[in-house]
Structure 1
């Protein structure tokens, strides 16, 4: 994208953001209510019968408060947003890299061997559509550890996009290049690393990019189930405390971290394509 077009796109994005925040803030300006509180409202601490989503000004104020000291630890149920995100990122990256250790070699095997593709394809097609969270009860029963169970769920959801994209990328490497490698009497391992891997790298990285996005989605739901620590638990705990401001703030943080993870792998993918 040319520099001028990128600049115009950034200005337009900023204007749309300001417009959205302005409308959101305006919708939260309630008319003055002079009616006496009902008995129900008094029991609820004076809350209005008409529930309102907190305005962006309140969310920004909470964000400044939380981000000014993100790593405080005041007990099991009171940790800073940085600690909560750190636990979630650790679980996601651990499960993701474990999945890569399995998916990439297996994807090469499936992509290079039509026999293995036909043999393993039924298992892949049966296991791939299963919701990752459906594995959580079984993982908790077998592993008996919530931390390891959450990592296992990330492993399960990450493995399929990487495996399928790797197999597809390897299978679609130009046969001429493979034939040249055979002409030079390269062994299977050298052919895989020197010919097939560079050619299939963009497709493999696309699968990894899809996997990290799915993993970040799943960890939030998994942590809501297992509790303890993590951004998913933080969201659920703040909802139980009826603190919608913190809920919205944490949702925004989930989006920002997810965007950064995607940008990281996207940059790596563009680097590989550029080198080719």
Structure 2
């Protein structure tokens, strides 16, 4: 008959028993890691990311090879076999004189990311050296009442992103201060809403290019004779006018659809008009207002690129256009970097608006 042998508990077993005892004492249930949850929330997204980059790499290689074959064949027809063989050798050796102008691969885009980050630190050091060099001169100019000498070198990619963020937030605030008050007013009055509805329906679908031209006509006249750079002013006003319509419509809809019982209670309590707006109407309208604000911010970020390009404002729009015009070996890669940055920032801005909406609104179940 076999005898059972007691196995001494190691420190890991003792630690596990201690944790179980603590969880039982404080009535804490250990988290359950179900395979289906892990599959849906972790494994499948990771697989989709890997598949995306794999397809991108495969597609970029196909496009590059197609361009190489075409250029070699063209050289063969125009200059003969020797020139075609030389070009083929150049492409095979990845020579700087033989670069394709097509979709860059993920590795090329990552190399451009590293280049842009390195450039940022170089430009940052140049700015610091410039400030140190001109500190004494600027101090004298300040005593004389003159403006300081400022750094006029090219901005880094980080500076360009910050400029775009500053422009879009200025435009968003302009849209907020125009759309929300007007939306409240026309939401409170059917007569005003019917009177202004034609204006909203006509101007809401207008292209950002047209809004830019309209703002340019007005701003250049108002600021005529000034030496200041008007590109930022024109950009953020255009962004605000393009993107405000969703907030305007949603605010008016939210105000007009407030439960009539709330309005009757406000009348019974004899609230003044402003009290009724801030204590009854706005809290009830917040879900729709914030839905409009989220759309407004998304639209503002989208139209910003076209408007910055037209206004020559030193943001992401101008950066993309200049790289497209530049035609350098890494220009296409930098454009793709800008595309990812634009998309990621747009996603983060929407998440921030959703968090604010859930914080200030009684509707805590707002989702993407």
Matches within 5 A, 1:25-174: 25-29=57-61, 35-37=85-87, 46-47=97-98, 51-67=101-117, 70=120, 72=123, 78-144=154-220, 145-174=230-259
Q: CA deviation at 1:64?
A: 3.0
Partners of 1:20 and 1:207 lie apart in 2 by 32
Residue of structure 2 equivalent to 1:188: 273
Say which of 339, 342, 345 aligns to 1:254. Answer: 342
Q: CA deviation at 1:100?
A: 0.8
Aligned-residue RMSD, C-alpha? 2.8
* 1:75-134 superposed Cα distances (whole Å, 9 cap, x missing partner): 867322211111111111111111211111110111111111122112222221211220
Q: Which has the higher contact order (CA 8 A, sep 6+)?
A: 1
Q: 1:228 to 1:107 in 2, by over 3 A?
A: closer
- Indicate conservation of the 8 Å contact 2:174/2:237, yes or no: no
* 1:195-225 superposed Cα distances (whole Å, 9 cap, x missing partner): 1111110100000000000000111011111
Q: CA deviation at 1:142?
A: 2.3
Partners of 2:60 and 2:243 lie apart in 1 by 40
Partners of 1:7 and 1:76 lie apart in 2 by 52
Q: CA deviation at 1:136?
A: 1.6
- Indicate conservation of the 8 Å contact 2:239/2:304, yes or no: yes
Q: CA deviation at 1:57?
A: 1.0
* SS of residue in 2 equivalent to 1:133: helix
Q: CA deviation at 1:60?
A: 1.5
Q: Which runs of 5+ in 1 are unaligned?
A: none
Farther off after superposition, 29-38 or 57-66: 29-38
Say which of 319, 323, 330 aligns to 1:238. Answer: 323
Q: CA deviation at 1:141?
A: 2.6
Structure of larger gyration radius? 2
TM-score by length of 2: 0.67
Q: 1:213 to 1:195 in 2, by over 3 A?
A: same
Farther off after superposition, 119-128 or 184-193: 119-128
- Number of residue equivalences: 270
